[in-house]
Amino acid sequence: MPYLSAMEPLALYIHWPFCLAKCPYCDFNSHVRDQIPQAQFRDALLTELAWEAGRLGPRLLTSIFFGGGTPSLMQPDTVAALIEQACRVFQSAADLEVTLEANPTSVEAARLADFRQAGVNRLSLGVQSLDPDALRLLGRQHSAPQALAALEIARATFPRLSFDLIYARPGQDVPAWQGELRTALTLAPDHLSLYQLTIEPGTAFATKHARGEIVLPDGDTAAALYTATDEAAARFGLAAYEVSNYARPGAESRHNLAYWRYADYAGIGPGAHGRVTVGGELVATRRHRAPEAWAERVARDGHGTVEQTAVPAGDKAREMLLMGLRLAEGIDATRFAARTGIDLAAALDPDVLAQAQEANYLRWDHGRLVALPEGRLRLDALLAALVR
Ligand code: SF4
């Protein structure tokens, strides 16, 4: 067993950049190709993982997350090879969580057993909606019956299952969303990610939105939809442990908790970001975004890193606040000081903090700063004013 220092445990993110088609709302680093260069990207990911492990040294690996793009388009033996190598170069935790994002098209559903065999123990299925019109609007490649069939296979195949839905869609009202959500919740996932539709710059939806062809629900409706979401999830035993994520106790995504708790995570693959402790210093890393250029750099240099900079104390404090206040558990002041070198209270504007406590947006709870439900509803505006 490799020697482990008293370092932060490590979460590993692996980015697969290819999709069958580009969804009109999506601003992720995802690309459509006639032919996916499977062998080239398998070699490049394995090479970059070896390089990352070489510089990080022995670490306790707590989670692996295959994200994208559409990682269910990877060949299962590539997934198996990456898991096997990650567990060899790091020390894998006894309860290592291995998540793979998948889409519910029939081709991908047919490979779910192979991904389980490869070592994936948690599936995150991109259902997005159970309404046929909404699936068309969102430009998805699967139908509602395909989503239900994939969910059934996934539930029988993986010990842990999550799926995503997008709400606050054009024309959607509270009763319609409650009905869709009820159907989703009866499918008994242990985890749900429920995102409000947002218009991201540079997407096809941004163009339509600018032309007035897409109109999102107004602020009051969006808030009512959010509240209805919380209530419905709670009725089925899923707690909102993060702004958009709901889980049964113990079924929270350990990998995503690493981001929100501002733990160390390494990111490999095109465009992947990381925050890793190297030589006692927290370093921000970013890989080249364009898939083929990234693969060429990896073939040439062993890695596709384009940015590698120490994170200044003020940025660490800001980032940890932005992430941590999304969590229902809030931010532990002791860990905040240890991780950033800054006292939590000193990172906040005292007047804004006092007002936010008065308005029941924030509270101190046994050494933790916690955003209350009303605060989480307006978290972006609150953070903009609060963080110095
Ligand atoms: S499948 Fe996912 S990553 Fe790919 S384009 Fe659609 S939303 Fe983006």
Choose the residue to mutate in 29, 66, 70, 195 for probing ligand 1, maximizing ligand atoms within 8 Å of C-beta.
70
Give 144-198 pLDDT, tens digit per residue: 999 999 999 999 999 999 999 999 999 999 999 999 999 999 987 899 999 999 9
Evaluate: CB of 204 within 6 angstroms of ligand 1: no
Evaluate: CB of 22 within 6 angstroms of ligand 1: yes
Residues 6+ apart with CB under 8 A from 47: 298, 299, 302, 303
Evaluate: CB of 128 within 6 angstroms of ligand 1: no
Give residue for tokens 């990682």.
71
Evaluate: CB of 256 within 6 angstroms of ligand 1: no
Residue 201 has what pLDDT?
95
Among candidates 102, 185, 109, 197, which has minimal Cα distance to 145? 109
CA distances from 129 to 71, 108, 137, 177 (A): 20, 17, 10, 10
Tell me: pLDDT of 72 over 60: yes
Measure 70 CA to ligand 1 centroid, in angstroms: 7
Choose the residue to mutate in 16, 25, 27, 28 for probing ligand 1, maximizing ligand atoms within 8 Å of C-beta.
28
Measure 136 CA to ligand 1 centroid, in angstroms: 14
pTM for the whole thing?
Answer: 0.95
Measure 365 CA to ligand 1 centroid, in angstroms: 38
| Closest CA to ligand 1's atom 2 | 69
Give residue 110's pLDDT band: very low, low, confident or very high (50, 70, 90). confident
Give 201-236 pLDDT, tens digit per residue: 999 999 999 999 999 999 899 999 999 999 999 999
CA distance 122 to 102: 11
Measure 140 CA to ligand 1 centroid, in angstroms: 8
Which ligand 1 atom is at minimum distance from the Cα of 68? 3
Evaluate: CB of 72 within 6 angstroms of ligand 1: no
Evaluate: CB of 23 within 6 angstroms of ligand 1: yes
Residue 5 has what pLDDT?
44
* Chain mean position to CA 103: 15
Give 294-330 pLDDT, tens digit per residue: 999 999 999 999 999 999 999 999 999 999 999 999 9
**Cis amide prior to 69 (ω within 30 degrees):** yes
How many CB atoms lie under 10 A from the CB of residue 204? 14
- Please name the residue ranges forming H helices in the chain: 38-56, 76-89, 106-109, 112-118, 132-137, 144-157, 174-186, 204-210, 219-235, 254-260, 291-301, 313-324, 333-340, 350-358, 373-377, 379-386
Tell me: pLDDT of 1 over 60: no
CA distances from 227 to 66, 232, 371 (A): 31, 9, 15
Choose the residue to mutate in 15, 30, 105, 166 for probing ligand 1, maximizing ligand atoms within 8 Å of C-beta.
30
Evaluate: CB of 28 within 6 angstroms of ligand 1: yes
Both tokens of residue 299?
Answer: 């073939």
As a whole number, mean pLDDT of residues 13-41 equals: 96
Residue 318 has what pLDDT?
94
Both tokens of residue 236?
Answer: 């089925």
| Average pLDDT of the residues of the chain | 94
Which ligand 1 atom is at minimum distance from the Cα of 19? 4
Evaluate: CB of 70 within 6 angstroms of ligand 1: yes
| Closest CA to ligand 1's atom 6 | 23
Which ligand 1 atom is at minimum distance from the Cα of 128? 7
Which ligand 1 atom is at minimum distance from the Cα of 25? 7
